[in-house]
Amino acid sequence: MRSEERTAYLAILPVGLLLVLFVYYPAISTFLLGLTDANPRVQGLEGSAHFIGLRNYVQTLGSGEFWASVWRTVLIVLMVLPLELVIGLAAAMILNEQFRGRAMLRTIAIVPWMLPPLVNGFMWSWILNGDYGALNGLLYQLHLVSSYHHWLASPSAQLFWVAVAQVWTRFPFAMVVLLAALQSIPQDVVEAARVDGAPPAQVFRSVTFPMLLPAFTVALAVEFIVTFQIFDVIWSLTAGGAAGQVINPFTKAVMILNYEVVFRNLDLGLGSAVAYLILVLSMGVGYIFVRMLYERGA
């Protein structure tokens, strides 16, 4: 082995060890745990789990509660992704222009993404509070409402406001990705289209947007996976369930269900199987996005 190769292997060895320790080993352990009936509540702390094969996966796939949580999660995804990408694209196009204070505005625009999701969730719960919320106060001052409204009263409203809070939290990621893509577009191509007499809308549709498709695919795939695995915003905004209380059934997304199975029921084997099914569903759809959109854009 040459000295250059030995140096390269030594350089990547710490990273490889960290990946094995913190990624691959937990992943393999979780998969193996999903093939058992591990449950400290039933077996006790000193009890041993038994191998049951794919029974946990079959039980989960045959559970109406699991598919109901998947459907709620899909509804949130369908509300979040279009809003997030449209707002992210609009913000990116604005911040791509030359104007005074652009650097400061770019910094301010990514603040929601920098804040922890729990902080954003609690902030929105304060804004939407039916007794002293900022939204009620603003609308009342503008004489748009005559009395304070409980925005989170109905189940459909809860899902809608969860989607709004998630869009607020995550749109800066799409904005940053699309802004980087906008700045990489050759300006001579855009100028040539303008010289040929193409109006701005046609320039965007025929030149800018096709060149943004790879970036759109990256943002769409990442945000689908993040939104499909939403937990923090739901937990903090719609009272996902404090210690000892019943978890809100109207916003029980798949990650909330997984939390309930593992930490409330202590069914570690079943919870591990649910976690892997969530991984397979989210990665499968993400792969479809990449194949359909990225290759088309490339």
CA 97 from centroid of its chain's CA atoms = 28
Cα→Cα distances 135→123, 125, 126, 173, 280, Å: 11, 10, 9, 25, 39
Given a contact cutoff of 8 angstroms between Cβ atoms, the answer to whether 163 and 76 are in contact is yes
What's the count of helices (H) and strands (E) in the chain, helices before strands?
17, 0
CATH of the domain at 156: 1.10.3720.10
Per-residue pLDDT at 58: 93
Instruction: Give 212 or 60, the one with higher predicted confidence.
Output: 60
- Assign 182 a pLDDT band (cuts: 50, 70, 90): confident
Given a contact cutoff of 8 angstroms between Cβ atoms, the answer to whether 273 and 62 are in contact is no
d(CA 169, CA 158): 16
Per-residue pLDDT at 270: 92
Residue 185 lies in a domain: yes
Per-residue pLDDT at 170: 93
The domain of 118 spans 60-297
Instruction: Give 121 or 295, the one with higher predicted confidence.
Output: 121
DSSP helix/strand/coil, 36? strand
Give the percent of the chain with pLDDT over 70: 92
Average pLDDT, integer, range 54-80: 93
d(CA 176, CA 268): 38
Res. 297: pLDDT tops 70: no
Residue 289 lies in a domain: yes
Average pLDDT, integer, range 250-270: 90
- Assign 255 a pLDDT band (cuts: 50, 70, 90): very high
How many degrees, rounded to 5, is the angle at CA 117 between CA 61 and CA 242?
65
Per-residue pLDDT at 79: 94
Residue 157 lies in a domain: yes
Per-residue pLDDT at 196: 67
Residue 137 lies in a domain: yes
Closest CA to 227 of 82, 125, 26, 27: 82
Give the percent of the chain with pLDDT over 90: 31
How many degrees, rounded to 5, is the angle at CA 149 between CA 145 and CA 150?
165
Average pLDDT, the chain: 85
**127-159 pLDDT per residue, tens:** 998 888 889 888 888 888 888 888 888 888 899
Res. 50: pLDDT tops 90: no
Residue 210 lies in a domain: yes
d(CA 243, CA 15): 38
Give, as one character, the DSSP assignment of residue 293: I
Domain count, the chain: 1
Res. 12: pLDDT tops 90: no
Residue 176 lies in a domain: yes
Instruction: Give 41 or 96, the one with higher predicted confidence.
Output: 96
Res. 193: pLDDT tops 90: no
Specify the residue for token string 């930490």: 263
Residue 42 lies in a domain: no
d(CA 2, CA 11): 14
Residue 22 lies in a domain: no
Average pLDDT, integer, range 48-53: 84
Res. 74: pLDDT tops 80: yes
Per-residue pLDDT at 10: 83
**84-135 pLDDT per residue, tens:** 999 999 999 899 888 888 889 888 889 998 888 888 888 998 999 888 888 9
